[in-house]
């Protein structure tokens, strides 16, 4: 009698364990974020999710730099879009130059669009002095030539080692001028607005790609002198010296702040600045958060093709290979 009871109890326990395993069976993915390991279980009663496949632009990149490139890209992008490691995302490399992001349905209907927005750009911060009309240190004949070439050929083919054309993010709010009120040189091409910016010695602080270059130590939300939303930044020791040189030699001139080559703002330099600065502009809370996360994550090791090459749905069974043809985009 006692033996039969023991057998029945053991059988019940086994059946209970099997039921629990079947109930929660699915794909278990381990995600490293901020040094912590978290597991996301996609159960079989999942109502659907989204998978985004991205490709990396490797044009001009040496073969040795392509090895494990997607892994390195994932590390930087994860810090950018999910610095706290709380989003229900699974990142997985598909090859050296492709990776996929799986988005759980619990993230919400707008998660895919928000993620695509945050992934745009390379996270490169640079600074350039802007020539202004009639400034004694500006060769107006040379700048006028650049203006005429822009109208004929566009920005890509009229930039050189002295000046480059930089797209303005929000031309409606662009009020850049030097200390004497002389305006910057702004022109349109193909329905976009561009400002002429300097590449000259002591007039630009750029990234050359070498490992001895300057770095951004930290970016953080702040406000400007009139209380508007802004982004504060802190530079490393080398960056502080370069920034001090550029600002010290160009007092009274507008300093263009660029993120991924886009002109965000151009405050007038009032005094020499070293390790700290502020990016001003008419920013929304979302823009401030995105830029702070992007800058703190660091520059990407290569360019990401802006749009995903494939967008697919995850079926109700949790089968991530089931594609929704209406949402698939292939290049």
What is the average pLDDT value for the chain, to the nearest integer? 83
Residue 165 has pLDDT above 50, yes or no: yes
Say whether both 91 and 156 belong to one domain: no
CA distance 305 to 312: 17
* 59 shares its domain with 81: yes
More confident residue, 8 or 169: 169
In a domain, 6, yes or no: no
Q: Say what the pLDDT of residue 301 is.
A: 87
Within a domain: residue 255? Answer: yes
Please count the CA atoms within 13 angstroms of the CA of 125 that sit on its side-chain side.
Answer: 27
**Are residues 283 and 152 part of one domain?**
yes
One domain, residues 132 and 201: yes
Residues 271 and 155 in one domain: yes
CATH number for position 116: 3.30.70.3400
What pTM value is reported for the model? 0.76
pLDDT for residue 272: 94
Q: Return the SS3 of 111.
A: helix
Binned at pLDDT 50, 70 and 90, residue 177 comes out as: very high
Are residues 116 and 166 both part of a single domain?
Answer: no
Same-domain pairing of 80 and 186: no
Residues 160 and 277 in one domain: yes
Distance of CA 181 to the CA centre of its chain: 33
- Continuous H helices in 42-183: 63-66, 69-81, 111-119, 140-153
| Structural domain includes residue 190 | yes
1 assigned to some structural domain: no
- Name which residue leads in pLDDT, 249 or 3: 249
Same structural domain, 53 and 174: no
Query: 120-162, pLDDT tens digit by residue?
Result: 999 999 999 999 999 999 999 999 999 999 999 999 888 888 9
Give me the pLDDT at residue 202, please: 94
Distance CA 26, CA 104 (A): 13
Q: Is residue 14 part of a domain?
A: no
User: Cα(115)–Cα(60) distance, rounded to whole angstroms?
Assistant: 27
Contact 198, 130 (CB under 8 A): yes
Amino acid 47: pLDDT: 53
Kindly state whether residues 149 and 234 are assigned to the same domain: yes
Write out pLDDT tens, residues 276-328.
999 988 899 999 999 999 999 998 988 999 899 999 887 665 554 443 333 33
The verdict on residue 204 lying in a domain is: yes
Contacts of 212 (CB under 8 A, 6+ apart): 238
Same domain, 215 and 321: no
Confidence (pLDDT) at 21: 47
Q: What is the mean pLDDT of residues 84-94?
A: 92
Is residue 130 assigned to a domain? Answer: yes
Taking the C-alpha atoms of residue 58 and residue 69, their distance in angstroms, rounded to an integer, is: 9
pLDDT value at residue 28: 37
Q: Which domain holds residue 271?
A: 125-297
Are 191 and 199 in contact by the 8 Å Cβ rule? The answer is: no
Share of the chain above pLDDT 70, in %: 79
> Is position 9 within any domain?
no
Task: Spell out the alpha helix ranges (H) of 137-276.
Answer: 140-153, 237-248
Q: How many domains does the chain contain in total? A: 2
CATH number, domain with residue 230: 3.30.1360.200
105 with 134, same domain?
no
């Amino acid at each position: 009698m006692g033996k039969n009871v023991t057998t029945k109890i053991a059988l019940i326990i086994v059946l209970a364990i099997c039921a629990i395993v079947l109930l929660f069976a699915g794909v278990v993915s381990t995600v490293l974020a901020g040094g912590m390991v978290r597991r996301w279980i996609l159960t079989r009663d999942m109502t659907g999710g989204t998978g985004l496949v991205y490709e990396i632009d490797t044009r001009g990149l040496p073969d040795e730099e392509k090895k494990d490139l997607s892994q390195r890209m994932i590390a930087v992008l994860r810090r950018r879009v999910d610095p706290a490691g709380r989003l229900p995302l699974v990142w997985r490399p598909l090859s050296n130059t492709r990776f996929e992001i799986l988005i759980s349905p619990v993230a919400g209907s707008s998660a895919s669009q928000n993620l695509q927005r945050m992934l745009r750009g390379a996270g490169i911060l640079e600074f350039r002095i802007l020539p202004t009309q009639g400034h004694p240190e500006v060769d107006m004949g040379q700048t006028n030539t650049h203006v005429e070439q822009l109208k004929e050929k566009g920005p890509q083919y009229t930039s050189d080692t002295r000046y480059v054309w930089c797209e303005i993010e929000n031309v409606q709010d662009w009020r850049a001028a030097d200390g004497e009120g002389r305006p910057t040189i702004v022109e349109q091409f193909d329905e976009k607005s561009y400002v002429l910016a300097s590449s000259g010695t002591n007039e630009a602080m750029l990234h050359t790609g070498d490992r001895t270059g300057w770095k951004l130590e930290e970016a953080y939300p702040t406000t400007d002198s009139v209380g508007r939303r802004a982004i504060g930044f802190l530079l490393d020791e080398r960056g502080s010296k370069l920034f001090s040189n550029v600002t010290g030699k160009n007092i009274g001139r507008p300093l263009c702040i660029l993120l991924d080559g886009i002109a965000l703002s151009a405050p007038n330099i009032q005094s020499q600045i070293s390790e700290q600065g502020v990016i001003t502009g008419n920013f929304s809370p979302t823009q401030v958060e995105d830029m702070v996360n992007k800058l703190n994550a660091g520059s990407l090791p290569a360019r990401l093709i802006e749009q995903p090459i494939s967008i697919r749905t995850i079926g109700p069974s949790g089968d991530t290979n089931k594609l929704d043809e209406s949402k698939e985009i292939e290049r």
